[in-house]
A and B are shown apart, each in its own frame.
Chain A
Amino acid sequence: MSGGTVVRGWVGEAVGRRLRDPGFWAERAAIFALIAVVVVFGILSPNFLTVGNLEAVLLAGAILVVLAVGQTYAVVTAGIDLSLGATPTLASVMVGYVVGREGGTLLACLLAVLVATTFGVLSGLVISKGGITDFIVTLGALSVATGLALLISDGRPVEVFDPFLLTLATGSIGPIAYLMLLALVVAVAGHVLMFHTGFGTHLLATGGDKEAARNMGVNVDRVKVTAYAISGFLAGVAGIMLTARVGSAEPAVNTEFLLNSVASVVLGGVSLFGGRGSVAGPVAGALLLTALLNGLTLLGVSEYWQPVAVGSVVILSAFLTRYQR
């Protein structure tokens, strides 16, 4: 037997072993499910696999992608950011408030991001220094942000006429819309930060085993605060994208953002116990959810069924995570 055959046989066996390992599938569930959804809807609906519709899916998914990346940072620390249900709204209302008072786009966007980031930092501080669980703190933050959005806007939506935001919403480089580009930048930056920097390793270590990380001298409190700051920052970015897309700032809470961001993270194979996950997975999860909703709409399924579909997919995928190793 030649050396080449031995190597090839060995590689084949290794690949076979991976393919038979349920963990391999569980980690990549979102990507395979995304492919499956695209294929199924492509067969069922002639309009699904058109360039125009795929662009629409990516554009509609852009905001969720940004939020999913933020949620991922909270979840890998073994936490969760429930405030993502309201901080994008609050950021959007801030944009409306400043633009409405002729404060300028730049100031509006800066303030929006600043307020949302502050929410993240404060949540992180209360969680790490105060020793209160993530769930409760961010639930409180969700409520506070909801209230602040109502107070600032006086409970009324305002239209936002702003050339910059209009360009952001409608412009593109070639076929790639600015909003898609922004989501892509966030996803790539989120991936690089998590897997190619010292902070990323400390983040995963803190989420995986806080005590071990602390013993090795990792400042676990600072890691936690930074993770929530990132989540808050991205909520601010998402708020700006939202304002640009709908052309107005609405104080109504977006519970789908919260649910779908958590769903994307679960679909993306991020362990809810922390310490393990990816950015690509949740991004695929976010696109999967968006494609699913788009496909159901194209098929004429009542939109009342959509939450049912999302919920079922999430629970199904959570089952798969049991096979993660």
Chain B
Amino acid sequence: MLRERKLGRGVAVVGAGLSKFGVFKDKNSKDLFTEAFQEMLASVDKGLEPKDIDALYLGNFTNDFFTHQAHWGPIIADLIGHTPKAATRTEGACASSGLAFREGVFAIASGFYDIVLVGGVEEMSKRTTSEVTEGLALASSPYEGQIGLTFPGCFAIMATAYFEKYGATRQHLMNVTVKSHNNARFNPKAQFNLSIRDIMDSRIERARSKGEPIPAWKDEQEFLLDPVVNPVVSWPLYLFDCCPISDGASCMLLVAEEIAKNFTDNPLHVAGIGQGSGLDLHAVDDLTFFEATRHAANEAFKMSGLNPEEIQFAEVHDCFSIAEIIHLEDLGFCKPGEGYKVVAEGITKLDGPKPINTSGGLKCKGHPVGATGTAQLYEVWKQLRGEAGKRQIPNPNLRVGAAHNLGGTGGTCTVTILERR
């Protein structure tokens, strides 16, 4: 593919950190960002003097709603001793830190800054599920939120449209869930690091020890069909189709390519970045794809000169199981209508030809919305540096990975391609 877009100067990733994701009643946003920041500092092979950071871009969706505290740029700047230098909050719903990463890249590419910290944070779990549902619905269209449409509801509507058009069923969604859980088993930072089989075994064990009737699930599908363990949230999406409510933070250190060797001999290069925007549900003619993803991916591919086939693995925004299937298609990893078949064939498994969401994805790693974009890129960083431990993709020639971050119901999307050269 012809390179049609380029940065003013190259940008490299030389450090990355991630807090543990989960529900933490005893940690706030500052505690979580501190965890991510500490790991980032330790990850810079040749060390970083924090005072050398020129600017901070921080993704946060709606801590305003979740914690009644806004203006998180300077709060985090203060936390890490960055004041009085620039701190900017970026907001693009669940793509907030995808935007932070992109703004950081532009700040360096423009020549204005050399060393930029990008990241994100969200603190969601101190609200009830119903309140969080309302908070997240702030990112849907006014017309849709007002009548009671929720986030899961929007994706459920897309699922019925997808099922109708392509003949997929609820069973196909389960393949995504089972795979995500299998991957998360090997991710110590994940909110849920049990496979579906592990969860079944532990429930059977618990029933046995309590003298209760032993559940008779034959396999993972039977477990997921059991309405007691997997109740409906927004039909046809059930609990195990939905990402959890999470707290967490993530960050990455970006530097100008020409000084990357001062920080590490093993940097990653920003090969492609793209961003798109999209319409409300009622305004699109076809509910089975996201125009914003297609646009963002096209931009990123044009900058990188790479084709979808050349992306060896990716983290995609699986806020709901149906979303992962749709993203595979929108990113060009398969044809429209074939995403569910690709997953069923095992192509997206950790040891398959195109591993997807090796971290466990939003479904299992967790989805502290503002932290997710750079958390996805943290996974790409880990994989490309060969530091992913037991979930390392078994390919000795891993060179190119991508992250796809979606905000709202496709209102904002970023696609980022990182490369080891």
Q: Do A and B come from one complex?
A: no
Hey, which bits of chain B sit against chain A, CB under 8 A? none
Q: Which residues of A contact B (CB under 8 A)?
A: none
